Chains A and B, each alone.
Chain A
Amino acid sequence: MTGTWRLAGVGIVLAIMLGVLGLRLWTIQVTETDTYTAVAEQNLIRVVPTPAPRGDVFDRNGELLAGTRASLAAVVDMGLVEDEFAEVLAQRLSAFLDRPASEILERFENANSGAQIILAEDLTEQQALTLLEHREEFPGVAVIPQPIREYPGGELAAQVLGYIGKPSEADLERPDVKGTDVVGKAGIERSYDDLLRGTEGVIKYQVDAGRSVLELLGEQESAPGDNLILTIDIGIQAQLQQSLEAGLGLARDVEMAERQEALAAENGDIRTRLFLALEAKQLEAKRAEIERAAAEASGEESAVTDEDSADVDTVIEIDEGKVLGSLYPGLPVDGNGVCEPVQRVEVGVTSRTLLSGIKERTMQLLAVLQDRSQRIAVVDIDGERFEVEEGDSFATTLRAIAVTEDSIVVSHSDKWCPVRTVGVVEDPDNGAILAMASYPSFDPNSFVSGLTQSEWESLGTINAFTNFAIQGQYAPASTFKVVSYVLAMEEGIYPLDRPVGDRILGDENTDTTPLDEEGGEEEAAQSVEPTPSDSDLKPLTSDTDLYNCTGSLRFEFNDGSSQVYRDWKRNGHGPLDLHGALQASCDLYFWEISLRIWNERSDETGINNEDLWQEWARSFGFGTETGIDLPFERPGLIPDRQWFRDEQRQDTGRVRSTGPWVGGDLMNAVVGQGAVLVTPLQLSNGFSAMLNGGTLWTPRVVSEMLDQEGNVVDENPKSIIQKIDMDSATVWGLRRDMQQVVNGAIGTARAAFAGFGPQVSTVGGKTGTAEIIKAVEDVQEVDTAWFVGVAPVMSPEYVVTVVVERGGSGGRVAAPVARQVLQYILNGEAAVTPLEAGANTD
C-alpha cells in the first residue's frame, strides 16, 4: 500500500513522544529522586514554631526585674484548616474560648493560607487539656508553650527595661525576626534583644493531604535567651522613683501656691471666653471687634460679650457659663484645684449653626482673655501659631480634640504646670548607672496583657514610655556653671576686675529677663548709669580674687548700644571669688568669664580658639551621645558660631530668627541656657568626670550577660571615653564648693538639705534653674529645675541628677528630691525624711 512511509513517519514521531516520557521519568525517578524524597518529607510534616522564653534581667544584687512565666497558647495552622471547615472550626473555638465566632473567622480570613496564627494566649489548664484531648474536633489547632514576659517590679525601672511588642517594619528587616515574633521595642529589651530572644523551638506533626493531624512526631524545645545582670540597684531605683513621683507632686503644689498668690496680688477677676472661628481672617475680624468693643466700654465686665455682632455663620460662641474664669493660671479648668499639664475640658455650645461643618474645615480656637486690660491670647488649632500678646501672663494652649452636636472638647495645656521628673544615679568611678527613671512612668506588664486604645493614648500623651533621662533634652541652667568653673581654673581665665562696693546699676525695678530673645541687637530700654570703661578693668588673676557681683551687668556693643543682663538675685551677691560664685550661683561672675573669652578670642578664623568654652563642654561629653547601652539616646547641643550659622536659622524659633552669633549667645551658653541642651544622663556623666578627676566613662546599665547555667558569656566592662587632664586643685575645689552649695551659708541648696541628718557634710551638689527658655526644636518652652548631688563629696561614689520639667527653682523642688535619694543611699530607708520645698534659689 502506498503511503506506508507516512505511517512509518507517524510511528517514529509517536515513538519519540514515548521516548521523551521515558527520559523525563529517568530524570525524576533515578537522577533526582533524592530531591523529591526530601520534598515529600516536608509535605508530610508541619512545623509549628514555639517561641523561646526571653532571658531574665536582674539588678546588680540578683533581684529579678524581668522574668518569664510559662503559659500555653492555642495556635491555628491555617495550612491545616480547609476552607469549608473554617466556619465550623470558628464556631467550635468560639464556644470554647468565649469569643465571637465572627471575630475568629475574620482572623482566619485575614491570615495567609499556611500561616500560623496565635488565636488565644495564656490558656487555662482546663482549656489546654480540652484542646489536646479533642484534637480531632479542632483540626489545625495546636497547643504550644508560650512564655509570657513578666516584670515583677511593675513600674520599677520601666523605662530602663523598656517593653516588648510586635515587630515593626524595620525590625522585620533584621535576620531571624518573623512577623509572629515578639521583639524588644524600647530600653534594654530593645538594645539587648538579640541576646534576650533565645532560639525558638519547633513542634512537628505528621499530617495527610486531608490536612488532619496524624501524630505528634517530635518536639525540639526552644532555648531561652541569655540573662542580663544590670548595674541598677533595685533599692536606689525604687527610692528614686518614689522620690520623683513625690517630687512632681511637690512641684505642682509649689506652682499652685504661687498662682494663688499671684491671683491674690492681682486682685482681679480674670475670666476667659472661648470663640471658635473657622478661618484666620474671620478670627482676626473677631479679634479687632473685641478690641474695639473693649475701647468703647473699658472697665466694663461684659465688654466683649457682643452677641449681636457675632456672626453666627462664621463664629461659634461657646457657652460662657462653663468656661468663664476657668483658663487663667491658678484656676484650673476643671475647678478642682489641681495643676495638670494637660486637661480635657468639655465646653457647651450655644450656637449650633455650623457645628456639623466644623469637623471638615480648618478650625482655630480663639481664646480671649477678658480682664481689665483686655489682653488677648490667640491659640491655633491646626498648627499655625498666634503668639500670646507681649507681657501677657496668659499661658494656656488650647486644642480642640472632639466636636459633637452640642459640645466641643478642648485639651488645655498648661505650660507652667510641672509635667515630669527625671532622675539618674551614677557611680562616677566607672559609669555604672545605679538608677534611672522618669515620672510619669508605665507598667511594662501592660504591654504583655495588651493596652486598650485609651490607655495607650493617655500614656502616650504624657510620654510615659519615653526614657527622659537619655531622650529628654533640657537647658542645664546653672548646673552648667561647673564647666566654666573648670575652664577658669584650668585656663586661668577669670572675670574682669570690678571694684568691690561699686554698684554699676541702680535701677532695681526694671524687670529684664537675663535672656532677652533679641539677643542684644537692640538697645535696652533701661536708663543706664555711667560705668567704668573696659580699659579701667583688669582681669582677676586667681580663683580667690574677689569679684563684686552687683546684680546686673551692662553689655556694650560696637555700635554704642548696650544691653543689661541681670543676675537671678536682683541685688547681687556682693564680693565673691570663683568658689563663692559657684556656691551662690552668681551669674555675673560666669558672664564675665564668657565676655573675656569673647572679647579676647572672638575670631571667625578660629586661630584664637574662640570655642574654648565649647571645647571644655564637649570634652565632658556634652553635645554627643554618651553611648549608653540603651536605644534612642539624644545628643544634646553645645552651640557655637558654626552651628549658629548653619543650622539655627533654618529652624524658626531656635534661639532667635536673625543675626550672627554674638557675645550674648555665649553669655547665655555659659550659664546653661540659650541653645544649650543636655540630657540628664549627659549632665550626670559630665559631673561624674569632673568629680572623679577627669575620667569620662561610658555610662552603662548592663554589666554581664549570663547563660542559663549562670556562666558569664559576655561582659560589658567599664570603658573610658576619654581622660581629661585636670589639676587636682580644680577637682578638690569643685568638690569642696559643691559641698558648700549644700552646707555653706550662701549655698543655694542649703534650705533643701536642712533636715538631711548628721551626714549632710559629706554631701555636695549644684542647683540649676532654667528660666524662660524659648522653644528649641521639640523641647517645649519649659522652666526646668535641676539638682546634681554627690556623695560622699570628697571621694564621690554616687552622683544623683534630678530634673523637674517646668518645675521652677532647682533649689526649691529638684534638690529635695535628690536629698531623699541621697539620704537613702547613705543611711537607708529609715533615714529618708519627708519631701519639703527648699528655698527659691537658682
Chain B
Amino acid sequence: MSITTDRSQVSLLRRDRKFRPDWLLLISYMTLSALGLLMIYTASAPRLEALGVSPTRELEQQAAFVLIGFMAFGIVSLISMATIRPWVSAIYLGSVVTLVLVLSPLGSSVKGAQRWMQLGPIRFQPSEIAKLAVILALAALLAAAAKPMRWERVARAVALVVVPAALIFLQPDLGTMLTFGFIAGVMIFVAGATWRQVAALVVVGLIGTVGLFQVGAIKEYQITRLTAFLDPVSDVLNTQYNQYQSQIAIGTGGLFGKGLFNGTQTNLRFVPEQSSDFIFTAVGEQLGFVGSLLVLVLFGIMIWRVLVSAANAATRFGQLAATGVAALLAFHVFVNVGMTVRLMPVTGLPLPFMSSGGTVFVMMSVALGLSHSTWLRRPTLPIERSGAS
C-alpha cells in the first residue's frame, strides 16, 4: 500500500461525508471509564476519609487523567494512520531510549521495580508507552511483508519486540514482557505468517521462557508469585495475600453484589492496591456477578469493534495496528481479571480504562484512538452506502 492510496481514501472519506464515529466503541469506552471512576471512588474514599483527607482526592486525580485520555482519543482518532506512519521509527527508538533511561538513576523505583520516569511535572511509565510503540512498529514492519511471509520478516519482527521486552524485563516487569509476546504473536499471525512460522514462534517463546528460568534471570519472588496462585493455602498471608483476599472479596459479591460502599473487604482494606491493579475486585464485590459480567461484556464489545475496524481497515498498516490494539486490550483484561479471580498469576497488568493511573489510561486511549482512526477512514461498505443514500 502506498501513501497515495491513503490520501485518496481520506479525500474519499471527506467527499462521501462518511466521517461517522463508531458509537458502540465510544459507548463502551466511556461507560468503562465512568464505571472505573466510580469504583476508584468507592475503593479509595473510606481509606482517604480515615486518613483525614478529602475522600474524593483519588477520584479527582483519575478524573483529570480520564479527561486527558478522552482528548487524546479524540485527537488521535482525527489523525490519519498515514500521518503517523512516518513517525513510527522515531516513536519506537524514543520508546527504547526511555526504557533505557528508566533503568538509569533517572527512573524511580516503586515497590522494587524501576518503572517510573519523571519528566518535569509529568511522571509516566515508559513500559506503557512502549506497548504502543511496539504495536506501531510491528504494524509498519509487517504491513510490508510479502505473502506468504518470509522467515526473515518473522525474525525481524521478533527482534523488534525482543529489544524493548528485554529492557522491560530488567525493570523487572514480567507482565508487560508477556504482553509484548502476546501482541507480537497475534499480529504476526494476522499479518499472514504460515502455520510453520506460528509453530516456530511458539517453540522459540517457550524455549526463551524456560531459558530465563534456567539461567536464574527470573527472580525468586517472580517465580513464587507466578506459581503461588496454584496452591491457594500455601501462604495465605504473604505472597498471594492480595490475590486470595481479592478472590474472597469477589466471591462474597454473589449474584448482585453488596452494593456500593457496602463491600466489607474492599472498604476494610483487606484488598490492597484496590484502585489500581485490583479495581475489578471492587466491581465483583459491590456489583456482584451481574456487574462483573457487564464489565466483561463492555470489554467484549470494545474488542469486537476494534477487530471490526481492523477487518475494515483501508491499509494493512491500519489493520495490523488495530489488531495489535485488540490483542493489547484483550490480554490486559484477561490477565488482570484472571488475576483477581486467581486464574492467572499476579503480574501487575492494570485493567484498561478502569484501574487508576494516568499513563495507562492515556496510553490505552491513544491505542483505542488509533483503532478508531482506521475505522473513520475505512473504505465505504455496501451497507453504509445504501444507508447513506
- Complex contact B289–A6 (CB within 8 A): no
Chain B contacts of A2 at CB under 8 A? 147, 192
Q: Give the interface size bracket for A toward B.
A: 35 or more
In the complex with contacts A18-B333, A33-B253, A1-B264 CB distance below 8 A: no
- Chain B residue with Cβ nearest A20: B343
Instruction: Flag whether B265 is at the interface (Cβ < 8 A).
Output: yes
Instruction: Flag whether A21 is at the interface (Cβ < 8 A).
Output: yes
Instruction: Flag whether B36 is at the interface (Cβ < 8 A).
Output: no
Tell me which of B157-165, B205-213, B323-331 binds A: B323-331
- Chain B residue with Cβ nearest A4: B311
Instruction: Flag whether A17 is at the interface (Cβ < 8 A).
Output: yes
Q: B264 is contacted by which of A11, A33, A44 (Cβ under 8 Å)?
A: A44
- Chain A residue with Cβ nearest B267: A208
- Complex contact B253–A18 (CB within 8 A): no
Instruction: Name the distance in Å between A423's Cβ and chain B's nearest Cβ.
Output: 56
Q: A1 is contacted by which of B288, B299, B319 (Cβ under 8 Å)?
A: B319
Tell me which of A34-42, A340-348, A408-416 binds B: A34-42
Q: B189 is contacted by which of A10, A32, A39, A43 (Cβ under 8 Å)?
A: A10
- The main secondary structure of chain B at its interface with chain A is helix
Q: B304 is contacted by which of A11, A22, A24, A114 (Cβ under 8 Å)?
A: A11
Chain B contacts of A8 at CB under 8 A? 311
In the complex with contacts A24-B341, A29-B292, A44-B268, A37-B251 CB distance below 8 A: yes
Instruction: Name the distance in Å between A43's Cβ and chain B's nearest Cβ.
Output: 6
The complex places the Cα of A10 from the Cα of B183 at a distance, in Å, of: 11
Instruction: Flag whether B313 is at the interface (Cβ < 8 A).
Output: yes
Chain B contacts of A113 at CB under 8 A? 237
Tell me which of B54-62, B99-107, B242-250 binds A: B242-250
Interface residue ranges of A10-28 to B (CB < 8 Å): 10-11, 14-15, 17-18, 20-22, 24-26, 28
The complex places the Cα of A14 from the Cα of B323 at a distance, in Å, of: 11
- Chain B residue with Cβ nearest A79: B237
Chain B contacts of A37 at CB under 8 A? 251-252, 254
Instruction: Flag whether A265 is at the interface (Cβ < 8 A).
Output: no
- Complex contact B300–A18 (CB within 8 A): yes
Chain B contacts of A7 at CB under 8 A? 190, 307, 310-311, 319, 323
Chain B contacts of A18 at CB under 8 A? 296, 299-300, 303, 330, 333-334
Chain A contacts of B326 at CB under 8 A? 10-11, 14
The complex places the Cα of A2 from the Cα of B311 at a distance, in Å, of: 9
Instruction: Flag whether A3 is at the interface (Cβ < 8 A).
Output: yes
Instruction: Flag whether A210 is at the interface (Cβ < 8 A).
Output: yes
In the complex with contacts A7-B307, A10-B326, A36-B343 CB distance below 8 A: no
Instruction: Flag whether A70 is at the interface (Cβ < 8 A).
Output: no
Chain A contacts of B132 at CB under 8 A? none
- Complex contact B330–A17 (CB within 8 A): yes
- Complex contact B264–A24 (CB within 8 A): no
Instruction: Flag whether A95 is at the interface (Cβ < 8 A).
Output: no
- The main secondary structure of chain A at its interface with chain B is helix
Among A2, A8, A11, A14, residue most surrounded by chain B Cβ atoms (within 10 Å): A14
- Complex contact A30–B289 (CB within 8 A): yes
- Complex contact B338–A208 (CB within 8 A): no
- Complex contact A30–B237 (CB within 8 A): no
The complex places the Cα of A8 from the Cα of B186 at a distance, in Å, of: 12
Chain A contacts of B319 at CB under 8 A? 1, 7
Instruction: Flag whether A607 is at the interface (Cβ < 8 A).
Output: no
- Complex contact A43–B245 (CB within 8 A): yes
- Complex contact A209–B268 (CB within 8 A): yes
B: number of interface residues (CB 8 Å):
50
Instruction: Name the distance in Å between A237's Cβ and chain B's nearest Cβ.
Output: 53
Chain A contacts of B265 at CB under 8 A? 40, 43
- Complex contact A40–B313 (CB within 8 A): no
Chain A contacts of B293 at CB under 8 A? 22, 25
Q: A17 is contacted by which of B268, B269, B313, B334 (Cβ under 8 Å)?
A: B334
In the complex with contacts A10-B186, A29-B288, A36-B334 CB distance below 8 A: no
The complex places the Cα of A24 from the Cα of B191 at a distance, in Å, of: 32
Q: B338 is contacted by which of A1, A3, A14, A24 (Cβ under 8 Å)?
A: A24
The complex places the Cα of A32 from the Cα of B252 at a distance, in Å, of: 9
Interface residue ranges of B233-280 to A (CB < 8 Å): 237, 245, 247-255, 264-265, 268-272
Chain B contacts of A17 at CB under 8 A? 330, 333-334
- Complex contact A29–B300 (CB within 8 A): no
Instruction: Flag whether B284 is at the interface (Cβ < 8 A).
Output: yes
The complex places the Cα of A35 from the Cα of B254 at a distance, in Å, of: 11
The complex places the Cα of A114 from the Cα of B238 at a distance, in Å, of: 12
- Complex contact A10–B327 (CB within 8 A): yes
Q: A35 is contacted by which of B190, B250, B251, B313 (Cβ under 8 Å)?
A: B251
Interface residue ranges of B328-379 to A (CB < 8 Å): 330, 333-334, 337-338, 341, 343
- Complex contact B292–A25 (CB within 8 A): yes
Q: A209 is contacted by which of B270, B289, B323 (Cβ under 8 Å)?
A: B270
- Complex contact B289–A40 (CB within 8 A): no
In the complex with contacts A24-B343, A29-B289, A36-B252, A10-B323 CB distance below 8 A: yes
Interface residue ranges of B109-127 to A (CB < 8 Å): none
Q: A21 is contacted by which of B268, B271, B341 (Cβ under 8 Å)?
A: B341
- Complex contact B303–A14 (CB within 8 A): yes
The complex places the Cα of A20 from the Cα of B335 at a distance, in Å, of: 11
The complex places the Cα of A423 from the Cα of B186 at a distance, in Å, of: 92
The complex places the Cα of A30 from the Cα of B337 at a distance, in Å, of: 17
Chain A contacts of B271 at CB under 8 A? 209
- Complex contact B307–A11 (CB within 8 A): yes
Instruction: Name the distance in Å between A44's Cβ and chain B's nearest Cβ.
Output: 7
The complex places the Cα of A39 from the Cα of B292 at a distance, in Å, of: 21
- Complex contact B250–A208 (CB within 8 A): no
Chain A contacts of B289 at CB under 8 A? 25-26, 29-30
- Complex contact A22–B296 (CB within 8 A): yes
In the complex with contacts A21-B296, A28-B341, A33-B254, A43-B248 CB distance below 8 A: yes
Chain A contacts of B245 at CB under 8 A? 43, 209
The complex places the Cα of A30 from the Cα of B284 at a distance, in Å, of: 11
Instruction: Name the distance in Å between B50's Cβ and chain A's nearest Cβ.
Output: 8
- Chain B residue with Cβ nearest A27: B341
Chain A contacts of B264 at CB under 8 A? 40, 44
The complex places the Cα of A560 from the Cα of B184 at a distance, in Å, of: 110
Q: A3 is contacted by which of B192, B292, B341 (Cβ under 8 Å)?
A: B192
Q: B341 is contacted by which of A11, A15, A25 (Cβ under 8 Å)?
A: A25
The complex places the Cα of A7 from the Cα of B304 at a distance, in Å, of: 10
Question: Could you name 17 residue pairs across A and B whose Cβ atoms are closer than 8 Å?
Answer: A1-B311, A3-B191, A8-B311, A10-B186, A10-B307, A11-B304, A18-B299, A20-B343, A28-B247, A28-B341, A29-B254, A33-B251, A33-B253, A113-B237, A208-B268, A208-B270, A209-B268
Which 3 residue pairs across A and B have the least CB separation, nearest first? A36-B251, A209-B270, A29-B289
